Amino acid sequence: MSLDEQPNPSPQPTAPALTSFVAEAAPAGPEGEPSVIRRYLQTRGSGGLADRVFAGLMLLCGLSIFAIVLFILWILIDRSKLSLAQFGFHFFLRSAWDPVSGDFGALPFIFGTLATSLLALAMAVPLAIGVAVFLSELCPAKLRAPISFLTELLAAIPSVVYGLWAVFVLVPIMRDQLGPVLYQYLGWTGFFEGYNFGEGLLTASIILAIMILPIISSITRDIMLAVPISQREAVLALGATRWEMIRTGVLRNARIGIVGAVILGLGRALGETMAVTMVIGNHPVISKSLFAPGYTLASVIANEFTEATGDMYLSALIEIGLALFLVTIVVNAIARALVWAVTRGTPARVH
C-alpha cells in the first residue's frame, strides 16, 4: 500500500482503500468476515512453499531406498568383476569350489540356502499360524500374556546362542534319537539316507524354523487381532462353529497379512549366517539326503572372507554375495507374485 503511494501520491482517501483490502481478502464471504478457521490458516502463511519442500523431502526419503539398493548392487558387481569375467553367468550354475586352483561356482551354496530356508518355512509356518490362532482366538486370558512374552523373547535371542544350543542339544538329538527314527520309517523316500552325524541340511532347517517361528507367529497374531470383532460375530450369528468362524471370518480376512509375515520370516531364513554355519556341516555338495552336510551362501562368505588369498578368490566370494542378493530378490518376487495371483479380485468370502 505504502509502496503504491510513494510514486503516485494521489489524493485518494485511506478509508475506501481499507475496505477494498478487506473485500479482497474475503471475497466470497457473504457476511463480509472471514471464518475463524480461515483467519487461523492465514496466520500460518500460505503453505505453498512448505508443502513443496515437505513433499520434496519425503520424495528424497523414498528414493533413498532405490539409491541404497542400486549402490549395493553396483558395489557387488564392481568388486566381483574378475570372477564375472572369468566364469560369466555360468558361475551360478557351476558346482566347483576350489580355492587352490581358483575354480569357483555358486550352485551348491544356492541349493543349500534355498533348501534350508524352504524346509524351515514348511516346518515353521503351520506351527506359527497355530500359535497365532491359539493366542488370538482360543487362549484363556491368563495364558495369553506369558505365551506372547515368550514368543517375543524367542525373537530377541541372538543367532549365535541358537547356534550353540543347536550344537550341544539339537545335534546329539538328531544323531541319536530323531535321526534313526526318521531313517527307519521314512528311509524309503531317499531323503533320510547315508551316515547321520547329527549335522546337515535337516538340522540347519530345524534351527532356522525355530528362529523364524516367533517372527511369523507374532506378526500373524497381530494381524488376526486386527480383524474386526464384528466379522467374527457375524459369522457366529450365521450358525458357524468356532473352527468355521476362525477359518472363514479370521484367517480368510488376514491371509494377505499372513503371507507378508511368512515373507519376512523367509527373508531372515535366507540371510541367517551364524546359527546355520554351526550346524550345517559346511561342505558344498548337492545331495538328496537331508542328513548330508550342505553349505549356504551367507555361511561361505562369513567363513572364508577373512583369510581369502588371491584376487580371484575374493572376487568369487563377493559374487557369492551378489548371488545371495539375487536369490533374495527372486524369491521375494515369486512370493509376491504368488500372493497377487491368489488374492487378485477375491474379496473376503464366507462359504
Residue of the chain from 91, 117, 124, 199 that contacts other proteins (CB under 8 A): 199
In whole angstroms, what is the distance from residue 105 CA to residue 50 CA? Answer: 54
Contacts 24+ apart (CB under 8 A), 227-230: 227/253, 227/254
Instruction: Return the bridge partners of 97, or none.
Output: 104
**Could you say whether residue 100 binds other proteins (CB under 8 A)?**
yes
Helices (H), the chain: 2-5, 14-25, 36-43, 48-79, 81-87, 107-133, 141-156, 159-165, 171-173, 179-186, 201-225, 229-237, 242-244, 252-271, 274-279, 297-304, 311-343
Position 37 contacts other proteins (CB under 8 A): no
Residue 298 lies near other proteins (rule: CB under 8 A): no
Binding mask 262-281 vs other proteins (x if CB under 8 A, - otherwise)? ---------------xx--x
Question: 148 CB contacts (<8 Å, ≥6 apart)?
Answer: 135, 218, 221
Binding footprint of other proteins, residue count (CB under 8 A): 34
Contacts of 230 (CB under 8 A, 6+ apart): none
- Residue 65 within binding range of other proteins, rule CB under 8 A: no
The CB-of-85 to other proteins minimum distance in angstroms stands at: 18
What is the C-alpha R_g of the chain? 31
Q: Is 168 in the site for other proteins (CB under 8 A)?
A: yes
Contact with other proteins (CB under 8 A) among 97, 162, 192, 291 = 97
Choices 39-47, 137-145, 197-205, 320-328; region in contact with other proteins by CB under 8 A: 197-205
Q: Does 303 bind other proteins (CB under 8 A)?
A: yes
Report the residue from 106, 110, 115, 171 that binds other proteins according to the rule CB under 8 A: 171
Binding string, residues 306-325; x marks residues near other proteins by CB under 8 A: xxxx----x-----------
Residue 283 lies near other proteins (rule: CB under 8 A): yes
Record the cell numbers describing residue 36, joined without a space. 475463524
Which chain residues interact with other proteins by CB under 8 A? 96-101, 167-168, 171-172, 175, 195, 197-200, 277-278, 281-284, 293, 295, 299, 302-309, 314
